[in-house]
């Protein structure tokens, strides 16, 4: 089922922030993956202080809406700032629809990661649209 979620980027505070939000909304983190859990990224490719950071986490809040979060990696030149700290995440079921939406949002936009198959099992891309809104397009890979 297609859905829309909010994706938050942090500079090493994703777990702390989600724990706080869980208390606010009376829920619990439903998924948490650390960078060290991903073989394609894993401990060998990151400094020790970044291995335990959050690669992806999900927290249900209201009416089925999910807050998703990640920690940005200083070792990869990533830093949070207004413009990249909040992203609208579109979870789609169809790769063609994902390509269509990504293409439309990219027109006049910048700062993108093109749609591609990812090691976590999704077809994924990110773009900053012409209005400065950041969009993540995600489509689970089908077997």
Write down all domains in the chain, each with its CATH number in brackets: 3-140 (3.10.180.10)
Instruction: Output the pTM of the full model.
Output: 0.73
> How far is it, in rounded angstroms, from Cα 61 to Cα 12?
21
Q: Which of 99, 104, 143 is nearest to 125 (CA)?
A: 99
Tell me the sheet residues that pair with 3.
91
**Phi and psi (nearest 5°) for 74?**
-60, -35
Question: Mind listing the pLDDT tens digit for each residue in 24-66?
Answer: 889 999 999 999 887 766 556 788 899 899 999 999 988 888 9
89-113: string of b/e by CB count within 10 Å (b at 16+)? Answer: bbbbeeeeebbebbeebbeebeebe
């Amino acid at each position: 089922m297609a859905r829309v979620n909010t994706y938050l980027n942090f500079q090493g505070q994703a777990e702390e922030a989600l724990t706080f939000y869980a208390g606010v909304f009376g829920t619990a983190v439903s998924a948490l993956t650390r960078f060290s859990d991903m073989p394609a990224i894993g401990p060998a490719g990151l400094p020790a202080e970044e291995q335990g950071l959050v690669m992806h986490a999900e927290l249900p809040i209201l009416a089925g809406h999910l807050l998703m979060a990640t920690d940005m990696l200083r070792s990869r030149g990533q830093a949070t700032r207004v413009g990249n700290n909040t992203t609208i995440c579109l979870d789609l079921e169809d790769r063609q629809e994902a390509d269509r939406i990504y293409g439309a949002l990219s027109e006049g936009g910048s700062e993108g990661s093109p749609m591609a198959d990812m090691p976590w099992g999704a077809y994924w891309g990110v773009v900053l649209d012409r209005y400065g809104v950041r969009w993540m397009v995600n489509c689970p890979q089908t077997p």
